[in-house]
Amino acid sequence: MLQDRSPFVRLFGRYLREQGLPVTNQREVIASMIFSSDDHLSVDDIDRELSSSGEKIGKATIYRTLDLLVKSKLAASHDFGEGFKRYEHRLSREPIHQHLICLNCGQVLEFQSPDLSRIEDYISSQHGFKPARHKLEIYGLCKKCLGSGIDLKPEGLACPIEDI
């Protein structure tokens, strides 16, 4: 059971007012949907859920509102290589950019590793690079899919380099 997330919708309203932008019903509905779900939602997910709850909001408005949520830093967008983006709220203090992604069922699990920022700092300093954010994605098979006997098959050359 999720805690009440309506304060975050109000926070988004505050952001809009700060920017001199109108707080519309559509924006609040979409924000509320993002804040109420702990999943990574696609625009299509949102559109389908809006339709099934009787809301009539155009896709363009969904895209435009998601842009605002990302700009406000209350939400973040991800690209898991599916050909479209997914969006999630950023209610936790530290945004998590580390994911375990199942290649079979597409489930996304978040995790955090304190060691990772050490790696980020070290590598960056080695290259004179100023890091702003990072993204670690581990692709593989989740517990559930492993349990149902699914396996991944390699398909390329057995040993590309040594075989020349």
Size of the site for DNA (CB under 7 A): 26
123 is a site residue for a second copy (CB under 8 A): yes
Q: Of the listed pieces 20-28, 30-38, 45-53, 103-111, which binds a second copy according to CB under 8 A? A: 103-111
CA–CA gap between residue 30 and residue 63 (Å, rounded):
10
Q: Which two tokens stand for residue 30?
A: 């979409």
State the binding partner of 54 from a second copy, DNA, none, CB within 5 to 8 A by kind: none
Q: What is the DSSP letter of 11?
A: H
63 is a site residue for DNA (CB under 7 A): yes
Q: Of the listed pieces 42-50, 117-125, 127-135, 156-164, which binds DNA according to CB under 7 A? A: 42-50
CA–CA gap between residue 72 and residue 74 (Å, rounded):
5
Whether 108 and 100 have beta carbons less than 8 Å apart is answered as yes
Q: How crowded is residue 16: how many other Cβ atoms within 10 Å of its Cβ? A: 19
Size of the site for a second copy (CB under 8 A): 60
Q: Which residues contact 107 (CB under 8 A, 6 or more apart)?
A: 101, 142, 144
84 is a site residue for a second copy (CB under 8 A): no
Residue 143 CB, shortest distance to a second copy, in Å, is 4
Q: Which residues bind DNA (CB under 7 A)?
A: 16-17, 20-27, 42-44, 56-61, 63-65, 67, 83-85
